[in-house]
Amino acid sequence: MTVRIHDGCEATATRTPLEGGLLGWAAVLMLGVCLVGVRMVPRPLVPFVLRFARMWVAGLFCFFGGVHRGASFYNPRGPQLSDPVIFLAMHFMGLGIMILSPQAAWRLATPGMLATLGGDLYLARGHRLPRFFLRLRPLQLMVASGLIALLGQTEQKQA
Residue 69 lies in a domain: yes
Residue 105 lies in a domain: yes
Residue 93 lies in a domain: yes
Model's pTM, two decimal places?
A: 0.89
pLDDT of residue 20: 82
4-62 residue pLDDT tens: 555 556 666 778 888 888 988 999 999 999 999 999 999 999 999 999 999 999 999 99
DSSP string, 9-69: -GGG-SSPPHHHHHHHHHHHHHHHHHHHHHHHS-GGGHHHHHHHHHHHHHHHHHHHHHHHH
74-124 residue pLDDT tens: 777 888 888 899 999 999 999 999 999 999 999 999 999 999 999 999 999
Structural domain of residue 92, as residue ranges?
Answer: 17-158
8 Å CB contact between 66 and 54: no
pLDDT of residue 152: 97
Residue 11 lies in a domain: no
Q: How many CB atoms lie within 10 A of CB 103?
A: 12
Residue 37 lies in a domain: yes
Q: What is the mean pLDDT of residues 122-130?
A: 89
Residue 5 lies in a domain: no
